[in-house]
């Protein structure tokens, strides 16, 4: 048989918009997820892991920030003709599970979940098509005590992962108040909720962009429309100046205390029953939280939080990191939002026809990790494993035994498994592994029952800066009996960790 023509080699590339995570990137995320899970579990939340794949039908058209069906998801047609897709968030699968298992799950059902979600969006710097979310939701609890619990738990979770009090703020608002304001402004008709729905959507998106466009930009979007720098025109909601004034008043209703903010909101919603109900809910949330010690330095009523998602129906919340970091261009900017959520009473109804109250929060794990790294709270140089070098290829069994001895003492240890011929390469390898120590044993040392212990951190330091006297007084390599190897290696590692 003639040999096939060599096929073109495949490209070794992560698909566009995706990335790989190595070493500490993986363990740090795992540690953070475990810490958050512990907080969620303590509050009685149970883990749920749904499949990554859902039917497109079950996902629905609820992709955040996108009103078009199936836009933004990775989808394909199954052999049976069904359309399947990767989940784009954790809320849609929860709604499906809550409907599917409604007879078996406890009611209310508190669940947490963590894992990757996928978005078929244009990737950008720091914006990937697969990222982690860590959500907690309560399904079947109509009381805003459930919302208050979620806000308090979010605050606890942020502190547990290493964001100190004062470096974050959970801001809480209520869609009902906003809708009450809309009613007062004449863009919501309680007897016909569909009326003005498009204009309200535009208003919602406009005020969600307050941070980005400022008051003038938001007013333009609420009115005739906005022309951006590039010349693109975004159609506005068509509100008059008077109507826009009412909405802007709501945005700027934040006062020093929850009670004062609520009082101001009560003025703004005037006679709107829905608005008054929303203000009452905010007051109750503030009262329950303050009763548990979550004061306004941690959780704050703030009418400027609206959250873009169309499906929220009551309280909405957002956790923001308040410290400044330097962006790619070296400019100071505030870190911004790392978590958000709210009450969405209609998602389960899609499946069952029956309204089920639900509320929850989603923590953007990768952003939170980035924040902790930016603050230097994680990402210190971890020490690699001890490397046992290979002097005599035929004594591999001895080297494996040395590594096993170190492991039994609780240390990470490995034998060099590349070509041992060039000893320099073995030390270069240990360097790349960020090893604290290399173990060396030639046949001479083996015969005498000793090993050479090479302190790689001290060695590098001496090579870089030591005088001849120091070099002599601080030997970076020394001999020890095999029986003392563990103890000596541990001492070196402990010294490095103490630095």
**For 333-474, where are the alpha helices, taking DSSP H only?**
349-352, 365-374, 396-408, 423-432, 443-448, 456-465, 468-473
Contact region for its own copies (CB under 8 A) — 146-154, 260-268, 306-314, 369-377? 146-154
Q: How far is CA 455 from CA 413, 452, 459, 477, in A?
A: 14, 10, 6, 6
Q: Give the tokens for residue 178.
A: 């906003």
Is residue 484 close enough to count as binding its own copies by CB under 8 A? no
Contact region for its own copies (CB under 8 A) — 44-52, 238-246, 264-272, 373-381? 44-52
Q: Give the tokens for residue 212.
A: 């980005």
Site string for its own copies, 189-208 (x = CB under 8 A): -----xx-x-----------
**Residues 252, 261: contact at Cβ < 8 Å?**
no
Please give the annotated binding residues for L-histidine, written as ranges: 89-91, 119, 133, 137, 307, 311-312
How far is the C-alpha of 177 from the C-alpha of 265, rounded, in Å? 8
Min separation Cβ 300 and its own copies, Å: 18
Contact region for its own copies (CB under 8 A) — 78-86, 161-169, 242-250, 373-381? 78-86
Q: Which residue from 299, 301, 185, 204 is spatially nearest to 249, judged by alpha carbons?
A: 185
How far is the C-alpha of 367 from the C-alpha of 337, rounded, in Å? 8
Size of the site for its own copies (CB under 8 A): 103
Reading phi first (left if > 0) and then psi (alpha if -120 to 50, else beta), residue 228 is in: beta
Is residue 81 close enough to count as binding its own copies by CB under 8 A? no
How far is the C-alpha of 181 from the C-alpha of 272, rounded, in Å? 8
Burial 462-478 (b: 16+ CB within 10 A, else e): beeebeeeeeeeeebee
- In the chain, the largest separation of any two C-alpha atoms, in whole Å, equals 94
Min separation Cβ 408 and its own copies, Å: 9
Is residue 130 close enough to count as binding its own copies by CB under 8 A? yes
Residues numbered 53 to 72 that lie near its own copies (CB under 8 A) are: 53-55, 57-58, 60
Residues numbered 392 to 411 that lie near its own copies (CB under 8 A) are: 396-397, 400-401, 403-404, 407, 411
Min separation Cβ 231 and its own copies, Å: 26
Contact region for its own copies (CB under 8 A) — 52-60, 162-170, 263-271, 459-467? 52-60
Q: Give the tokens for residue 26.
A: 């993986």
Site string for its own copies, 427-466 (x = CB under 8 A): --x--xx---------------------------------
Is residue 138 close enough to count as binding its own copies by CB under 8 A? yes
Min separation Cβ 266 and its own copies, Å: 20
Min separation Cβ 397 and its own copies, Å: 4
Interface residue with its own copies among 90, 97, 453, 492 (CB under 8 A) is 97
Q: Which residue from 363, 340, 428 is spatially nearest to 115, judged by alpha carbons?
A: 363
Contact region for its own copies (CB under 8 A) — 81-89, 205-213, 251-259, 437-445? 81-89
Please give the annotated binding residues, written as ranges: 89-91, 119, 133, 137, 307, 311-312
Residues numbered 99 to 118 that lie near its own copies (CB under 8 A) are: 99-101, 106-108, 110, 116, 118
Is residue 356 close enough to count as binding its own copies by CB under 8 A? no
How far is the C-alpha of 427 from the C-alpha of 419, rounded, in Å? 12
Residues numbered 289 to 348 that lie near its own copies (CB under 8 A) are: 291-292
How far is the C-alpha of 259 from the C-alpha of 282, rounded, in Å? 9
């Amino acid at each position: 048989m003639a040999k096939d023509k060599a096929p073109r080699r495949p490209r070794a590339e992560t698909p566009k918009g995706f990335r790989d995570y190595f070493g500490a990137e993986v363990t740090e995320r795992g540690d953070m997820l475990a810490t958050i899970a512990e907080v969620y579990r303590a509050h009685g939340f149970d883990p749920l892991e749904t499949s990554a794949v859902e039917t497109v039908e079950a996902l629905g058209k609820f992709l955040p920030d996108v009103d078009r069906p199936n836009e933004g998801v990775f989808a394909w047609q199954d052999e049976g003709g069904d359309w399947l897709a990767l989940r784009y968030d954790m809320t849609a699968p929860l709604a499906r599970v809550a409907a599917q298992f409604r007879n078996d799950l406890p009611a209310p059902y508190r669940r947490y979940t963590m894992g990757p979600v996928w978005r078929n969006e244009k990737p950008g710097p720091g914006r990937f098509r697969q990222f982690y979310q860590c959500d907690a939701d309560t399904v079947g609890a109509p009381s805003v005590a459930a919302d208050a619990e979620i806000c308090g738990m979010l605050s606890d979770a942020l502190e547990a992962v290493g964001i100190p009090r004062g470096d974050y703020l959970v801001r809480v608002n209520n869609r009902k108040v906003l809708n009450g304001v809309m009613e007062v402004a004449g863009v919501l008709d309680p007897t016909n909720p569909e009326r003005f729905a498009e204009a309200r959507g535009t208003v919602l998106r406009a005020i969600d962009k307050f941070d980005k466009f400022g008051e003038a930009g938001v007013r333009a979007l609420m009115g005739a429309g906005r022309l951006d720098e590039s010349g693109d025109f975004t159609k506005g909601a068509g509100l008059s100046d008077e109507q826009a004034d009412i909405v802007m008043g709501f945005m700027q209703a934040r006062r020093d205390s929850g009670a004062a903010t609520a009082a101001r909101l009560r003025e703004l919603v005037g006679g709107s029953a829905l608005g008054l109900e929303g203000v009452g809910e905010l007051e109750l949330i503030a009262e329950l939280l303050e009763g548990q010690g979550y004061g306004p330095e941690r959780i704050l009523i703030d009418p400027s939080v609206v959250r873009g998602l169309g499906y929220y129906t009551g309280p909405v919340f957002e956790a923001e990191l308040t410290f400044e970091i330097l962006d790619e261009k070296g400019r100071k900017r505030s870190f911004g939002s790392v978590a958000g959520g709210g009450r969405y009473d209609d998602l389960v109804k899609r499946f069952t026809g029956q309204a089920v109250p639900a509320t929850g929060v989603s923590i953007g794990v990768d952003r939170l990790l980035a924040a902790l790294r930016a603050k230097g709270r994680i990402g210190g140089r971890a020490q690699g494993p001890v490397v046992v070098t290979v002097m005599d290829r035929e004594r591999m069994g001895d080297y494996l035994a040395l590594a096993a001895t170190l492991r039994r003492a609780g240390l990470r240890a490995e034998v060099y498994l590349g070509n041992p011929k060039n000893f320099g390469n073995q030390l270069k390898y240990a360097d790349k592994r960020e090893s604290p120590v290399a173990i060396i044993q030639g046949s001479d040392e083996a015969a005498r029952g000793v090993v050479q212990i090479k302190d790689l951190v001290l060695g590098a330091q001496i090579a870089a800066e030591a005088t001849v006297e120091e070099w002599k007084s601080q030997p970076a390599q020394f001999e020890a009996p095999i029986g003392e190897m563990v103890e000596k290696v541990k001492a070196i590692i402990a010294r490095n960790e103490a630095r």
